[in-house]
Structure 1
Amino acid sequence: MENNKHTFYVLQCADGTFYAGYTNDLAKRTATHNAGKGAKYTKPRLPVKVVYTETFDTKQEAMRREYAFKQLNRSQKERIIWGERHEISKK
């Protein structure tokens, strides 16, 4: 059965850095990261925890959000994650 939710997510790694990604199964993807089988970036920075998510109707929207988020500097990312949810421009 296909999952129709498309999620942009941000993980906080054990070293305090952030990792942003896209998935259609957040619980499974987070478990994969924490098993050391996720992204190359997160593998040496375990454990990771989900600190922010947004759900979209389409994969393309979620991936656009991921891309836009990755273009921001650390302080802009923190404002989004920790509460000041300013709109990310959709370039």
Structure 2
Amino acid sequence: MNYTYILKCKDGTLYTGWTNDLDKRVKAHNEGRGAKYTRSRTPVELVYYETFETKEEAQRREYAIKKMTRRQKEIIIAQAVK
């Protein structure tokens, strides 16, 4: 299984990525071994994710989410929480 995910960083910013092991990746972000962007913004909190069969699908969704405005990202996060 592959995942596209959104993290909320300590400073309130949102980070989007993809992985094939969601728990391990979030743990890596919080240990400072994730993306360069999140290293100085820990702790991070997983606020949204989607699952995909292939890594290519997850990467395409990551790219699409990264092109969204913050408001658009907040909307998909809020809809998933319901």
- Give the alignment's TM-score, normalised by structure 2: 0.94
Compute the displacement of 1:76 (Å). Answer: 0.6
Partner of residue 57, structure 2: 61
Q: Does 1:40 align with 2:36?
A: yes
Which is richer in helix? 2
- Give the alignment's TM-score, normalised by structure 1: 0.85
Compute the displacement of 1:6 (Å). Answer: 0.5
Structure 1 segment 14-29 matched on structure 2, within 5 A? 14-29=10-25
Compute the displacement of 1:82 (Å). Answer: 1.1
Q: For 2:44 and 2:50, locate their aligned partners in 1 and report how far apart those are by CA, in whole Å.
A: 18
Identity, % of aligned positions: 57
Q: Does 1:83 align with 2:79?
A: yes
Q: For 1:70 and 1:35, locate their aligned partners in 2 and report how far apart those are by CA, in whole Å.
A: 23
List gaps (5 residues or longer) in structure 1: 85-91
Q: CA RMSD in A?
A: 0.9
Compute the displacement of 1:43 (Å). Answer: 0.5
List gaps (5 residues or longer) in structure 2: none
Letter in 2 for 1:6: N
Q: For 2:43 and 2:22, locate their aligned partners in 1 and report how far apart those are by CA, in whole Å.
A: 15
SS in 1 for 2:56: helix
